[in-house]
């Protein structure tokens, strides 16, 4: 019976890895400039910024991340997926954390990936909001009136997108899986 539970749990981990991967490629934030006929003027992914402004891209000059950022973030994603896959078959060695608090190695690995993904979500929002003050004092969520220079004036509507919310849920999901792993699989 426990073998069936172990395989079910492995499938739940694979679902968690898929959620992380899907959230990674979806938009995390975008803005829409009301007076400019663009679907998405600026989009933020966890690995960088993309704009659809064409000739107007000078208005957000300097907003992009440094060149090393995208490869670093893609490497982070690969490490997360590899760690989750490794946790599927890792031995149940006990790891002591802070004295009395003990976890199995798979629990620790799954929990660390979930926790790190939540940290990425929090840091992304804080950093994006901080940087947006440099660009027309934009709001991360909501409508901001910007003046690009006379007579260019428009409202900009900005929102966190489904990719961001899915990333938050993925991190929480993985932490919860780590916490219930031993009870679910019947291991002590």
The total domain count for the chain is 1
Residue 161 lies in a domain: yes
Residue 100 lies in a domain: yes
How sure is the predictor about 169, in pLDDT bands with cuts at 50, 70 and 90?
very high
Mean pLDDT of all residues in 16-34: 91
Model's pTM, two decimal places? 0.85
Q: Average pLDDT, whole number, for the chain?
A: 85
Least confident interval from 19-33, 41-55, 75-89 = 41-55
Residue 99 lies in a domain: yes
Torsion, Cα 167 59 35 42, to 10 degrees, reads: -20
Residue 61 lies in a domain: no
Q: Are 156 and 144 in contact (CB under 8 A)?
A: yes
Residue 166 lies in a domain: yes
Residue 40 lies in a domain: yes
- Domain with 136, as residue range(s), is 2-53+67-185
Residue 163 lies in a domain: yes
Q: Are 44 and 24 in contact (CB under 8 A)?
A: no
The token pair at 28 is 């995390």
Domain at 83, CATH number? 1.20.140
Residue 59 lies in a domain: no
Burial 81-100 (b: 16+ CB within 10 A, else e): bebbeebbebeeeeeeeeee
Residue 179 has pLDDT above 50, yes or no: yes
pLDDT in tens, 89-144: 888 888 777 777 788 899 999 999 999 999 999 999 998 888 777 766 777 888 87
| Percent of the chain clearing pLDDT 70 (strictly above) | 84
């Amino acid at each position: 019976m426990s073998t069936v539970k172990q395989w079910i749990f492995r499938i739940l981990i694979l679902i968690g890895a898929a959620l992380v991967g899907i959230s990674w490629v979806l938009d995390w934030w975008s803005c829409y400039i009301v007076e400019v006929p663009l679907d998405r003027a600026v989009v933020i992914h966890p690995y960088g910024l993309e704009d659809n402004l064409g000739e107007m891209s000078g208005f957000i000059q300097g907003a992009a991340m440094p060149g090393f950022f995208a490869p670093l973030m893609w490497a982070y994603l690969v490490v997360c997926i590899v760690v989750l896959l490794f946790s599927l078959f890792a031995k149940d060695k006990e790891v002591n954390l802070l004295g009395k608090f003990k976890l199995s190695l798979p629990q620790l690995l799954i929990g660390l990936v979930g926790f790190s993904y939540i940290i990425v979500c929090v840091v992304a929002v804080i950093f994006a909001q901080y940087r947006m003050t440099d660009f027309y004092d934009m709001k991360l969520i909501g409508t901001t009136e910007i003046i690009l220079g006379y007579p260019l004036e428009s409202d900009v509507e900005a929102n966190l997108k489904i990719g961001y919310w899915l990333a938050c849920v993925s991190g929480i999901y993985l932490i919860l899986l780590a916490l219930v792993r031993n009870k679910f699989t019947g291991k002590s």
